Amino acid sequence: MTLLRQTYLLLSKDLLLELRRRDSLLTMFFFGTLLLFVFHFAFDLSPDRIAELAPALLWLAFLFTGTLGLAQLFQAERDNHCLDALLLSPLDRGALFLAKTGFNFVLMFVVELVVIPLFWILFNLSAWNLLPQLFLVTLLGTVGFCTLGTITAAITLRARAKELLLPLVLFPLMIPVILATIRCMESIMKTGGMTEAMPWLRLLIGFDVIFLTIGILIFDWVIES
């Protein structure tokens, strides 16, 4: 079976499970929204400042929400010892990587789809026309987060205090994505376009491509029984 087909099978299995129980999705969604509320109380969000801070606040919310999702990523396999079964099968580990990355991506995608407009409503922002561009940049950033996140989740799987260790290891590595995504979004909100932020966009896409590739190649060594 080809890489893509295996990926598709694994991914659809995870998505089907999630569709039935919706544990991760709901938790992530509520957590993301909750963070927005907390931000409102924590920061002095006057109308003139909110447009400036919007990208950063959104991304902080997504980072923490995404981390929540990552913590759950291999939970199903661990609970039922499916991981061993998966490893025994002649499955391309790269497919497992893509499937897990894809799964977390889908979850975050759905959450972002709701949270960004929600943010716009809650904080009375008016630039609705910029949402598609902003969403695109967010998606690119999410890909970067999910690739590194999946690798990190896999390597911390057997560690003690893994819930604490995962963000500790992941966040410094994520800095290019954080910087690039937020700068791109700021540029969009300030100038309405991405021309000013093109270097950042290229960095972001480069990051995604590099770590997607590395992930596929390296995942063999990441998951071991």
218 contacts another protein (rule: CB under 8 A): yes
Query: Interface with another protein by CB under 8 A: which range of 15-23, 56-64, 75-83, 160-168?
Result: 160-168
The one among 4, 179, 198, 209 contacting another protein by CB under 8 A: 179
Residues 6-65 that bind another protein (CB under 8 A): none
CA 75-14-147 angle, to 5 degrees, is 75
* Helix or strand holding residue 221 (H, E): helix 198-222
- In the complex with another protein, the residue whose CB is nearer, 82 or 179, is 179
The one among 150, 183, 185, 188 contacting another protein by CB under 8 A: 183
96 contacts another protein (rule: CB under 8 A): no
199 contacts another protein (rule: CB under 8 A): yes
Q: Smallest distance, Å, CB 8 to another protein?
A: 25
Tell me, what amino acid is at 152? T
- In the complex with another protein, the residue whose CB is nearer, 81 or 158, is 158
User: How far is it between the farthest Cα atoms of the chain?
Assistant: 57
Query: Interface with another protein by CB under 8 A: which range of 17-25, 44-52, 53-61, 176-184?
Result: 176-184
d(CA 69, CA 18): 12
Residue 85 burial (C-beta neighbours within 10 Å; 0-12, 13-18, 19+): exposed
Compute CA distances 4 → 11, 116, 117, 167, whole Å. Answer: 10, 31, 33, 29
- In the complex with another protein, the residue whose CB is nearer, 100 or 115, is 100
- In the complex with another protein, the residue whose CB is nearer, 35 or 182, is 182
Per-residue H/E/C for 75-140: HHHHHCCHHHHHHHCCCCHHHHHHHHHHHHHHHHHHHHHHHHHHHHHHCCCCCHHHHHHHHHHHHH
Residues binding another protein (CB under 8 A): 148, 151, 155-156, 158-162, 165, 168-169, 171-173, 175-176, 179-180, 183, 199-200, 203, 206-207, 210-211, 214, 218, 221-222, 224
